[in-house]
Amino acid sequence: MTLKDELIEGLKEAVGADYIAMDKEICYTYSMDASPIPGEIPDIVVRPETTEQVSKIMKLVNKYKTPVYPRGAASSLVLMGVPLQPGGISLDLTRMNKIMEIDEDSMSVTVQTGITWGELEYELKKKGWYTGFVGPGPGLSATIGGGISVASAYYGSAKFGTACDILLGLEVVLPTGEIIRTGSAALDTAKRHTRYGIGLDSTGIFCGDQGIMGIKTEATLKLYPYPEAIGFFVYGYEDEELLLKAIHKMASLRIASDICFIDKEAGLDFGGNPERFLIHGKIEAHSENELKAQLELFDIIAKDTNGVKKPDSFSKIALHDQKYEFLELAGFMGNFFSPCHKLPIFKSKKVHDLYLDHIKAHKEKLKKYKVTTIYYPFVVHGHLVLVPEIQVPIHDPVGRDFGVKFWKDFIHNVINQGSVHYWLGKVIGDMVVEHYRPEYFDFIKRLKKTLDPNGILNPGLLKLP
Ligand SMILES: Cc1cc2nc3c(=O)[nH]c(=O)nc-3n(C[C@H](O)[C@H](O)[C@H](O)COP(=O)(O)OP(=O)(O)OC[C@H]3O[C@@H](n4cnc5c(N)ncnc54)[C@H](O)[C@@H]3O)c2cc1C
């Protein structure tokens, strides 16, 4: 028996033969996420159902020093959760999709991390709860585990922050196979009701780690009562300084669940609106009266900053009717790429100007390859996440290569402007690591070596072995 045969036998024993695949076609489909750049093809796809099975797999692969690439929905846009070198194991976590406990007493829900944001919201709504932050753009298919691994943001982020801001604790299988619980469940006496109070915030080690420090198998998230009243707002602006002033004021109140804007000059003109910018957003309240008062407050902020009140249809389309319907835009086979970076609200103008300059400098080629652009910033707590999107027609490899270069050049520029990206993957991660202070990078390397001595979990991300 070869080492590989022994490993396969061990994996079959761990999860059952039905949940292992080595067929070329299946392995090929696991070589991609939604980014425009393909990864490498794994040797084996494994689909565990329980934490114990994940633990067995990790103990086994350490023996054979086989790389493992955990994966949720693979909806990432920056090459991650896929092999970065040929071979290894793709660990598909989507069978781990159960709700373990809804604890109304501590207002928390514990789930297996392969559940999607959409499934979770659907189930919680039946009991009158939701998680406030309810997922990234493709939340109908994206998983909680993927969201925590990249600190995802979008639906609900202006008020509730990121996937990690609603997190109370995790169950993690370490790269060497041990199972730990973070937050209050680290104590053998306590439930999973609070993140802090046990010493180090060990949950944080696994937040936004890009899946390199451990495999999250269960997550405990905060619960909020499902809103009784939901309203939308749209305001037109001509002047960017005033627009940012309004956004800053609105964001500071932490009232709206979503606050976003678009810029006609960067590509998206909604219905021939006369003003250049459209702020749009959503307010969730617990009574019609509360909603009315909050919408009125936003109208006052808009009036004070020369905003023009508009019908709320654009906001409904962007934030309600379209919820979770973006996925078909994406990917190697599709046509959508984007950086996603955070900046303080007033500092965002500089990067916005850079994006417009970048578009101007490549005007002819953008036209030639029918590449379109959109500038779509949204508020996450007190800062803006800037999303300059790039759409390339499908089935045009030359146009796609141009689009990829346009995209990567812009990312280089914005990192130099102090932007902070959160989903990093291989594409953005390699550029970000170039800017790590040496002492910090050394700290990360030592942490990774301690947790993953054989370098088998997501090797190649953040330039780590
Ligand atoms: C059209 C489109 C729009 C998007 N809009 C947004 C947006 O608004 N906001 C946003 O944040 N993102 C957005 N994204 C990116 C992506 O959808 C999110 O980042 C999403 O949270 C990724 O979840 P996933 O389940 O697909 O994770 P995957 O892509 O499968 O994995 C992401 C990373 O996490 C690791 N990982 C996954 N699960 C685990 C686990 N349980 N334990 C350890 N590591 C794990 C993987 O190895 C990988 O490195 C968008 C993508 C597309 C295609």
Ligand 1 binding pocket includes 68 (Cβ within 6 Å): no
Q: Which atom of ligand 1 is nearest to the CA of 72?
A: 30
Span from the CA of 302 to the centroid of ligand 1 (angstroms): 34
Any ligand 1 atom below 6 A from CB of 70:
yes
Q: Is 258 in the pocket of ligand 1 (CB under 6 A)?
A: no
CB of 35 shorter than 6 A to ligand 1 = no
Structure token pair of residue 232: 């939308």
Mutate to test the pocket of ligand 1, among 152, 203, 337 (most ligand atoms within 8 A of CB): 152
Distance CA 386, CA 90 (A): 31
- Please tell me the predicted confidence (pLDDT) of residue 317: 83
Query: Does residue 39 line the site of ligand 1, with CB under 6 A?
Result: no
Q: Is the distance from CB of 216 to CB of 149 less than 8 angstroms? A: yes
Could you tell me the distance, in angstroms and rounded to a whole number, from the CA of residue 307 to the centre of ligand 1? 35
Distance (angstroms) between ligand 1 centre and the Cα of 444 equals 22
Ligand 1 proximity of 142 Cβ (cutoff 6 Å): yes
Index of the ligand 1 atom closest to the CA of residue 331: 53
- C-alpha 144 – ligand 1 centre gap (Å): 9
Best residue for ligand 1 mutational test, from 46, 71, 387 (most atoms within 8 Å of Cβ) = 71
Contact 219, 111 (CB under 8 A): yes
| Contact 152 CB / ligand 1 (< 6 Å) | yes
Atom of ligand 1 lying closest to residue 96 CA = 41
Instruction: List strands edge to edge, sheet with 372-375.
Output: 336-337, 388-391, 372-375
- Which residue is closest in CA terms to ligand 1's atom 21? 147
Q: Which two tokens stand for residue 170?
A: 């995790």
Q: What's the gap in Å between 305 CA and the centre of ligand 1? A: 36
| Ligand 1 in reach of 210 Cβ (< 6 A) | yes
Is 315's C-beta closer than 6 angstroms to any atom of ligand 1?
no
**Nearest Cα to 310, choosing from 223, 236, 415?**
236
423 lines ligand 1 (CB under 6 A): yes
Q: Which pTM was predicted?
A: 0.96
What residues pair up with 169 in beta bridges, in sequence order?
220
pLDDT confidence of residue 325: 59
What is each CA distance from 73 to 34, 82, 91, 138, in whole angstroms? Answer: 9, 11, 11, 9
Q: Is the CB of 338 under 6 A from ligand 1?
A: no
Packing angle, helices 397-416 and 348-361, rounded to 10: 150
Distance (Å) from CA 409 to ligand 1 centroid: 23
User: Please, are residues 275 and 249 in contact by the beta-carbon 8 Å criterion?
Assistant: no
Ligand 1: centre distance to CA 30 (Å): 15
Ligand 1 centroid – CA 138 distance (Å) = 9
CA-closest candidate to residue 44, choices 58, 60, 24, 14: 24
pLDDT (0 to 100) of residue 334: 54
Give the SS3 label for residue 73. Answer: coil
**Cα(329)–Cα(465) distance, integer angstroms:** 33
Rounded distance from Cα 242 to ligand 1 centre (Å):
34
pLDDT at 35: 87
Q: Are 7 and 60 in contact (CB under 8 A)?
A: yes
Q: What is the pLDDT along the chain (465 residues), one digit of tens a residue?
A: 676 889 999 999 999 999 999 999 999 999 999 888 889 999 999 999 999 999 999 999 999 999 999 999 999 989 999 999 999 999 999 999 999 999 999 999 999 999 999 999 999 999 999 999 999 988 888 999 999 999 999 999 999 999 999 999 999 999 999 999 999 999 999 999 999 999 999 999 999 999 999 999 999 999 999 999 999 999 999 999 999 999 999 999 999 999 999 999 887 777 778 999 999 999 999 999 999 999 999 999 999 999 999 999 888 888 887 666 554 455 554 567 777 889 999 999 999 999 999 999 999 999 999 888 888 899 999 999 988 888 887 778 898 889 889 988 999 888 888 899 999 999 999 999 999 999 999 999 999 999 999 999 999 999 998
The answer to whether the CB of 432 falls within 8 A of the CB of 463 is no
Spacing, Cα 259 to ligand 1 middle (Å): 22
| Pick from 97, 93, 87, 26: nearest CA to 61 | 87
Give the dihedral sign, CA 267/272/275/277. negative
DSSP annotation string for 181-240: E-GGGGSTT--S--SSSSSS-GGGGGTTSTT-S-EEEEEEEE-EEPPSEEEEEEEEES-H
Q: How many distinct helices (H) and strands (E) make up the chain?
A: 14, 22
For ligand 1, atom 53, the nearest C-alpha belongs to 330
* Beta bridge partners of residue 167, listed in sequence order: 221
Q: What domains sit in the chain, N to C, each tagged with a CATH number?
A: 3-94 (3.30.43.10), 99-225 (3.30.465.10), 229-321 (3.30.70.3450), 330-422 (3.30.70)
Is the shortest distance between the CB of 136 and ligand 1 below 6 Å?
yes
